Amino acid sequence: MEENGKENLEEKDANENISNDVSEDLKKCQAELDDTTDRLKRIMAEFENYKKRSSKERENLYGSIIADIVEKMLPVLDNLEKAVEAKTKDENYKAGVELVLKQYQDVLTSFGVKKIETVGQTFDPEIHEAVSSVQDEKYGEKEIVQEFRKGYMVGTKVIRHAMVVVAN
């Protein structure tokens, strides 16, 4: 009987050692899993930030490219507008120039180019360039009363500042 009792104790000790080893291995595995899960979450967050940053950079680059191209084309637009305003006896010629101007403006609009509002607006040095000022009580303070040259922007980027006359 003593032998059975001794064997049972030895077996019980062996089972406890195995149980302790398994418990320690389980804790190690759980710690590794937690560490791996944490790293995965960080990498996923970094990747999401990378995608957002890349998207924003692409949008900014696109806007800059459009602004650079449009800036070079604005003198052509100015000349088309002057051609429409010019007096002519040939109405067909005038209608043709007006059509070309409208198409040109439609192309710019399709690229997100907008004309900067001026007359009647409050002067904003971010989008307007004051070339003169007048003192007149019928206008409000810093009110734009005349436009010398149209200004344009794409998104929030100014392509060309509007040249204006500011009151008071």
- The pLDDT tens digits along the chain (168 residues) read 556 666 666 677 767 778 788 889 999 999 999 999 999 999 999 999 999 999 999 988 888 899 999 999 999 999 999 999 999 999 999 999 999 999 999 999 999 999 999 999 999 999 999 999 999 888 889 999 999 999 999 988 899 999 999 998
Tokens (6 digits) for 26: 């389980």
Q: Which residue has the tokens 């007096």?
A: 87
Q: Is residue 9 packed enough to be buried (19+ CB in 10 Å), middle (13-18) or exposed (0-12)?
A: exposed
CB contact set of 168 (below 8 Å; sequence gap of 6+): 133, 134, 135, 136, 137, 139, 140, 141, 142, 143
pLDDT for the residue 62? 86
pLDDT for the residue 4? 64
CA distance 34 to 26: 12
The three-state (H, E, C) secondary structure of the chain, written as one string: CHHHHHHHHHHHHHHHHHHHHHHHHHHHHHHHHHHHHHHHHHHHHHHHHHHHHHHHHHHHHHHHHHHHHHHHHHHHHHHHHHHHHCCCCCHHHHHHHHHHHHHHHHHHHHCCEEECCCCCCECCCCCEEEEEEECCCCCCCCEEEEEEECCEEECCEEEECEEEEEEC
